Structure formats: C-alpha cells, structure tokens
Amino acid sequence: MKNMKTRANYLTSSAMALCIAFISFGCQKSNDPGASTENSGTTQAKTATEATCVVQGWASQNGGTTGGGTATPTVVTNYAALKAAIQNVNVKVVQVNGTITIPAAGRISFQDQTGKTIFGSAGAKLVSNDQSKANSGIINVKRCTNIIIRNLIFEGPGAYDTDGWDNAIIDASTNVWVDHCEFRDGVDGNFDIKNISDYITVSNCKFAYVKPPKAGGSGGSDDHRFSGLIGSSDGATADRNRLRVTFVRCWWAEGCVARMPRVRFGKVHLVNNYFNSTVSKSCIQAGFEANILAEANVFENVKNPVDLMDNTSTAVQLKNNTFTNVTGSISGNGNTAFTPSYNISTLNSSSVKAAVTSSNGAGATVGGNNCS
C-alpha cells in the first residue's frame, strides 16, 4: 500500500509539473510571427504595430524619431481646432478626422516644437484652394525636432507658377518622419525639404497631380507640376553636410513633370520607389553638390529617369534599378555615393511596383497612426 501511495503521489506530482510547464510555455511570447495564442490579441496587435512602426532611414539616426509617442490624441474636425492643436506645445498627438479646408491666408505655421505626431484617420484630408503667391500652401514645419506626420492627404488647388508655397514644407527641422501621406496638386510644388533640415525619412508616400496646371503665372512656367525640392538654392551653402533624407517605397505617380525630387547638397537615399508619370520630363534631378544613392527603384514609361542637369553633383550612384519603356538618361555620374549609416529593408526591384501600388502601399492607406 505504501509503495502504491508513493507511486500515486509521484504520478500526481509529475502531472502537476507537466501542467505547469505547459501553462508556462503557452504564456511565453512566441518568436514565430505567424503564431497565435488564445486571449492575447491585444498584446500581439500592439507588438505588430510596434514592429512595423520603427522608422527606417535617416530619421532613425541622431537619436531616432518617435513623435508624440503614446500620448492621448487630440481629435480635430475643423480648421480652428486643427491650427490650435498643432500650435499648442502641450498637445503631443493630433488626430485629423474628415476633410478640413484651409481658408485663404490660413497656411498653418508649425514652429519650434519637439516630439509631436500629426496623423489622419481613414480618409482624412487637408485641402487648400488658394493659388496666390502669399496665401497658398497648407503647412510649414519650421525649427521642429522629432516629428511624425502620417496618413494624411494634402490636396492643393493645382500647379500655378506664382512663386507660391508648396502643400507642405520641412524647414530647418531635424528628425522628421513623413509616412503614408499623399501630396497632390501643390501650387509651387507638393513637398519641399530645405534650409539645414536633417535626418528626414519619407516613407510610403505618394506624389501626384490630378488637376490640370494653370498657365500664365508670374514665375514663367506654364506647367509647374514640379513635385519636390531638397535644398532651395545653390547659394544655400549652410545645407552642406545636412539634408540627409531617405525616400523609401514612395510613388511619383501620374501628373508629376519633374523634381522627383530635385536635390542640392544633401545625402539622399532613394530606395524601392516607383516612378510612372507619363508626362514626366525628368525624374530624379541631381543638382549642385548633390550626393545621391538610388537603389532598387522602378522607372516605367518615364523620360529622363536620372537627370544630371549641369553636372555639378558630388555623386550620383545607381544600384539594381529597373527601367522599363523609358527614354533619356539612365546613368549616374561615375562617382561613388555616400554609404548609409543605417540598415534598411530593401526589396528586389521586381517586387517594388506591386508593394508600392498595393492597397496598403504608398499614400494615406493605413487608416490611422499605424504603419501596416
């Protein structure tokens, strides 16, 4: 009897140990991203978001870019609330709902702030209808640090060469991450980065012109669908050793004529982007002292994929790009570009078009403050 009792105790203890071990194993975080565990949906969703929302490229350097973090969003649905929230240094996360129209002379000045996120819910749009030199544009980000702008459509009134404003400008700001936004129909341009700005990543963004250009502007061009600048002039020599910008998985779509982007001074990394504007005259434009590394991009049905302009660039290096039905220049200037100080996930160029144009690819496609 004693031996039987001992054996029973042993079996009971062993069974309990196995149960504890099983429960403990079930509660451990799985290393398999495809694995699922009952009753862990919230934790896994959070983990997935964190995993896909880590900034890549230049904005990952210099301490990284986290914006307003997990602060409770201030929700805005009209212009007055939007402007107040953006300009309030104590508001760290701004959520834009619906379509907000920027009134005449209402361009928002977002200045001298640190650690802020501005994002749109599904379908959120900021619209300007002003084509004048003084009053065009939607937002000017100046002297800011650690900023995230995500999932917003910036819609202008159409290109008109009045030396006006872009839909959005990053000016003298550092560690800015612009992700999953769409910029279209800007007056002077869609999106510029200038004036000693540094450590910038533009990811999963779409640039396009849907509205016809307006001719007869004071600037002299009858078709100013010039999408974006990095560096504003050859004389802005303070930009040397700055303007470090990454464009990854972006789409320069129909309507863009030039400046995709035009670069001066900066160390600009273009990786896994898609160019397919059939009205293009030049895509990547390498200006004064530009240092450009373009790798695994896709150029389709465009003219002059790589425009060396007046051959004053520091370096224009191309790696593993795909050119389909293009005309004009497809070569660099023979000089080796900078080596990025970061690692970045890079697709083979054969996969770029499908990834960029997918339903959650380039543009305001993620429905909120997430990346997937």
CB 126 within 8 A of CB 139: yes
96-119: pLDDT as tens digits: 999 999 999 999 999 999 999 999
Q: How confident is the model at residue 31 (pLDDT cuts 50, 70, 90)?
A: very low
295 phi/psi in degrees, rounded to 5: -135, 140
Q: What is the CATH number of domain 58-356?
A: 2.160.20.10
Q: State the amino acid at position 89 in one-letter form.
A: V
Six-digit token string for 150: 């995500």
CA gap 364, 362 in Å, rounded: 7
Give the pLDDT score at 10. Answer: 40
Give the pLDDT score at 371. Answer: 77
pLDDT tops 70 at residue 211: yes
pLDDT tops 70 at residue 353: yes
CB 237 within 8 A of CB 289: no
Is 9 or 267 the better-scoring residue by pLDDT? Answer: 267
For the stretch 160-196, what's the b/e string if a residue is b when 16 or more beta carbons lie within 10 angstroms of its beta carbon?
bbbebbbbbbbbbbbbbbbbbbbbbbbbbbbbbbbbb
Q: How confident is the model at residue 53 (pLDDT cuts 50, 70, 90)?
A: confident
Q: DSSP string of 3-52?
A: HHHHHHHHHHHHHHHHHHHHHHHHHSPPS-TT---TT-HHHHHHHHHHHH
Which has the closest alpha carbon to 315: 328, 306, 303, 325? 306
Domain ranges of the chain: 58-356
262-312: pLDDT as tens digits: 999 999 999 999 999 999 999 999 999 999 999 999 999 999 999 999 999
What is the average pLDDT across 257-262?
98
CA gap 159, 121 in Å, rounded: 27
Task: Count CB neighbours of 103 within 10 A.
Answer: 13
pLDDT tops 50 at residue 243: yes
CA gap 285, 310 in Å, rounded: 10
What is the average pLDDT across 313-336?
98
Q: Which residues pair with 194 in a beta bridge?
A: 171
Give the CA distances from residue 219 to residues 192, 213, 262, in Å, rounded to whole numbers and listed in that order. Answer: 18, 13, 18
pLDDT tops 50 at residue 218: yes
Give the pLDDT score at 326. Answer: 98
Cβ partners under 8 Å of residue 249, min gap 6: 203, 204, 271, 272, 273, 347, 352, 355, 356, 361, 362
Q: How confident is the model at residue 27 (pLDDT cuts 50, 70, 90)?
A: very low
Q: How confident is the model at residue 14 (pLDDT cuts 50, 70, 90)?
A: very low
- Burial label for 233, CB within 10 Å (0-12, 13-18, 19+), is middle
Average pLDDT, the chain: 88
What is the average pLDDT across 36-55?
39
Give the pLDDT score at 281. Answer: 98
Give the CA distances from residue 17 to residues 8, 12, 20, 21, 24, in Å, rounded to whole numbers and listed in that order. Answer: 14, 9, 5, 6, 10
Give the CA distances from residue 106 to residues 127, 159, 170, 211, in Å, rounded to whole numbers and listed in that order. Answer: 11, 18, 17, 22
Give the pLDDT score at 216. Answer: 97
Q: How confident is the model at residue 372 (pLDDT cuts 50, 70, 90)?
A: low
CA gap 173, 144 in Å, rounded: 5
Could you tell me the pTM of the whole model?
0.86
Q: Output the CA angle 108-112-118, nearest 5 degrees.
A: 55
Give the pLDDT score at 6. Answer: 39
Give the pLDDT score at 180. Answer: 98
pLDDT tops 70 at residue 143: yes
What is the average pLDDT across 88-97?
98
Six-digit token string for 292: 């450009």
Give the pLDDT score at 30. Answer: 31
For the stretch 52-69, what's the b/e string if a residue is b when 16 or more beta carbons lie within 10 angstroms of its beta carbon?
ebebbbbbbbeeebbbbe
Q: How confident is the model at residue 245 (pLDDT cuts 50, 70, 90)?
A: very high
